[in-house]
Chain A
Amino acid sequence: MERDAFLSRLSTRLAPGRPPATALTIPTLPMLDPEGGSLIDVFVSRAAEVGATVHRAATRAAAQRDLAGLLEEEGHCRIACPPALRFPAAERMWTPDPRDASFGLSEADWGIAETGGVVFRHHGAMGRQYSLVPPTVGILLAASRLVPNLAAALRLIEEDPPPACVTFMTGVSHSSDIAGSPCTGVHGPGSVDVWLLDDE
């Protein structure tokens, strides 16, 4: 059906007796709002509740060292990440194709303490697949980019026109669809590690 015909059908039915269109004001709702240090504590513990492990790193370099150690320990041979996140210790393992990798590395734009999850604005080289396709993923997150709750994250996202995709990722892929029993890593990664960068 043509757009105008479709929409005018709705208008005809809705118009009689409806309240005048005013912008919607949402009441302030009570929500989690921890401060500073406790923001990190809440994030760390809630991330753990959804199966993600959070590591503290004083610097980006420290995180990279830590990550390199984990890659070796877990026997990964291929790591995929956006070019900007490549680092020397992982160079020999690097592949441009997330489908080819056992480990994917991304950097998150924000972390949400309330849920223990992170937010990605996917644009340019910051692709979607790095945090999705490999079975194990790592995420770098500046500690200063932790926000208390979803509402705070949405306010920040709304400051700019959205990219083609924004992903909120909270913990590991899981399902209870098989006879009500939980399983992880169906489709998305079953293992998620987050490095919280203290100096950023």
Chain B
Amino acid sequence: MTSAPDGFETIVAATIADKELQRWLSDYQVVAKDWHDAALAELGDPSAWRQAVAQIRRHTVAHLDSYLDRFTANVEAAGGNVFFAATALEACEHIAEIVSSKGARRVVKAKSMVTSEIGLNEALEGLGVEVAETDLGEFIIQLSGEQPYHITGPALHKRLPEIRALFSEAAGEQLPADVDSLAAFARRALREKFLTADVGISGANIGIASTGTVVLVTNEGNGRMSTTLPRTHIVVMGMERLVPDWASLGPVLTMLTRAGTGERATTYVSAITGPRRDGDADGPDELHVVIVDNGRSRLLGTKYQDALTCIRCGCCADFCPVYRTMGGHAYESVYTGPIGAVVTPLLQGLDGHEHLPFASTLCGACEAECPARVPLTDLLLELRADVVERHGSRTTQAVAFRGFAALGERPRLWRMALAAAATAWPVLARLQHRLEILAPWTRSRELPTVARRSFGRIWAARRREHAEGGGARGA
């Protein structure tokens, strides 16, 4: 509806023009779909599993106040510290305080979308603290200075030569071009950080309310490393990321990996309950859990509440044709793909993001695959209605749709409009390539032909013929 901001148009155009990237993203989706489908088929009845996850998450969000109360009380009972951050600023300030109080010069980070959302890295770096991203994908985009491209694959868009160049620059030497050598460099470089960091910061994939347990999943091991070796562990958690108990963890964890990465399980799942206990061989001395609101509470009790049931698996982007065409950076947010188009305007407000809900054909592929049954199509439609309401009734588009509705109510006027269009068509057809207003269509497609006689006219004529002919009823 609204014309998209220039930044968006530029990114979209550049992504489409990059033929290699287009092939890369398209091939990625084919492979991701195969893995996803196979992992879900193994469950026998993936639909029942999705329903279970939806039930668990919707129930939890509907009673988020009491589950969060329980969760945080249990974190404290286990010896952890809890901080409630209403805003991104509050969260960053508190975390900065902890980091400063420890005299920490270096922080290792396991992947956490919410920390990117609140701008934590910038806040800490501003204090002169080194923040080392340890997830391989996050490490790559930290080196390149880019936003994440995909919820589970931050460096999805980066090809081998680019990564080699980034790693070589960081290494101070030209590294070999093979994946194993590059991975070995990352392992070496980041191991040093793990072993010397004063503080480890992670997100939380899921929190278990019944025991105050924080669950973290990774394939690499950086989650375990960041939360085991440093003396202090800080968890930053979106307040809605809970399940009631360990039994309900099962379906959510299973679907997170099967739908998200097409695996039966990620290599590592850490379920952390408080800091180390007396007598434990290892583990952090202190655990801090920062609960982040940052706009989420505004969605509770509204038609947007179900947007909070997302488990951040990322498979919506894997199935989205618009995502693969315009790329992850077009969302201009840490949240990419269909869920990004929904939560970014909701959490950050519509200003500057009005075009995002319209960056969709409403094909429903995302929703069909979503393991939590987030009603993405409906949420996008609600956002569109909100955007339209903001702009009032005097816009060109509003006038046009009102006009069309009026035609819907006046069949005779509709017939006249069709007849007029049929008359104008031959001229229009000749001029089609010169008419700017038609350019969005005619840039790539031939226009359809306006029928000389509309169906309504043909039918009416037939009825007259039959009536005059005195024959059998017009079918």
Residues of A within 8 A of B (CB): 1-3, 6-11, 13-19, 21, 23-24, 26-27, 29-31, 46, 50, 82, 99, 112, 114-117, 122-129, 132-133, 150-151, 154-155, 157-158, 161-189
Contact among B78, B85, B250, B298 for A154, CB-based, below 8 A: B250
Q: Is B280 an interface residue when CB atoms closer than 8 A count as contact?
A: yes
Q: Nearest chain-A residue to B269 (Cβ)?
A: A168
Listed stretches B119-127, B176-184, B344-352; interface member: B176-184
User: Could you give, for residues 258-281 of chain B, a 1 whenever the CB lies within 8 Å of some chain A CB and a 0 otherwise?
Assistant: 000000111111111111110111
Given the complex, which residues of A lie within 8 Å of B380, measured CB to CB?
A: none
**In this assembly, does B49 line the interface, its C-beta being within 8 Å of a C-beta of chain A?**
yes
Interface residue stretch chosen among B4-12, B153-161, B320-328, B436-444: B153-161
Cβ-defined partner of A165 (8 Å) among B180, B250, B271: B271
4 interchain residue pairs of minimum CB distance: A188-B221, A127-B281, A187-B221, A177-B136
Q: Which residues of B contact A169 (CB under 8 A)?
A: 267-268
Q: Are A124 and B220 in contact (CB under 8 A)?
A: no
Contact (A178, B160) CB under 8 Å given A21-B66, A163-B273, A187-B190? yes
Interface size on B, residues (CB 8 A): 97
Distance of A124 Cα from B279 Cα, bound (Å): 5
Contact check, B220 vs A14: say whether CB atoms are below 8 A apart: no
Report whether A162 and B186 are in contact in the complex, using a CB–CB cutoff of 8 Å.
no
Instruction: Verify A178–B247 contact, CB threshold 8 A.
Output: no
Given A14-B62, A50-B267, A164-B280; A179-B246 close (CB under 8 Å): no
Of B59, B158, B245, B300, the residue contacting A158 (CB under 8 A) is B245
Instruction: Indicate whether B397 reaches chain A with its CB closer than 8 angstroms.
Output: no
Docked complex Cα distance between A161 and B273 (Å)? 10
How far, in angstroms, from A189 to B298 measured CA to CA in the complex? 43
Which residues of B have CB within 8 Å of A155?
246-247
Q: Which residues on the B side are within 8 Å of A31 (C-beta)?
A: 43
Residues of A within 8 A of B268 (CB): 167-170, 173, 188
> Does chain A have a CB within 8 A of B40?
no
Offer 10 A-B interface pairs, CB within 8 angstroms, sorted by A.
A6-B291, A14-B63, A15-B301, A21-B66, A150-B253, A154-B247, A158-B246, A164-B276, A175-B219, A181-B179
Task: Tell me, yes or no, whether B22 is within 8 Å of chain A by CB.
Answer: no
Instruction: Closest A residue to B90 by CB, please name it.
Output: A1
Complex interface residues of chain B between 27 and 58 (CB less than 8 A to chain A): 28, 31, 43-45, 48-49, 51-52, 55-56
Q: Which of B62, B220, B265 contacts A175 (CB 8 A)?
A: B220
Interface residue ranges, B against A (CB under 8 Å) = 28, 31, 43-45, 48-49, 51-52, 55-56, 59-60, 62-66, 68-69, 72, 78, 82, 84-86, 90, 134-137, 140, 153-156, 158-160, 163, 179-180, 182-183, 186-187, 190-191, 194-195, 211, 213, 219-222, 224-225, 228-229, 239, 244-251, 253-254, 264-277, 279-283, 291, 293, 297-298, 300-302
Q: How many A-B residue pairs have CB under 8 A?
A: 246
Q: Which of B65, B251, B275 interacts with A14 by CB under 8 Å?
A: B65
Seed contacts A10-B65, A129-B281, A170-B265; 14 additional CB < 8 Å A-B pairs: A7-B84, A9-B297, A23-B244, A27-B52, A30-B45, A50-B264, A82-B281, A127-B281, A163-B273, A164-B274, A165-B270, A170-B267, A183-B180, A183-B182
Chain B residue with Cβ nearest A150: B250
Assuming the A-B contacts A24-B55, A169-B267, A173-B221, are A1 and B86 also in contact, with contact meaning beta carbons closer than 8 angstroms in the complex? yes
A97–chain B nearest beta-carbon distance, Å: 11
Known contacts A14-B65, A165-B273, A185-B187; is A3 also within 8 Å of B220 by CB?
no
With a cutoff of 8 Å between Cβ atoms, the chain B residues found around residue A26 in the complex are 52, 55-56, 247-248, 250-251
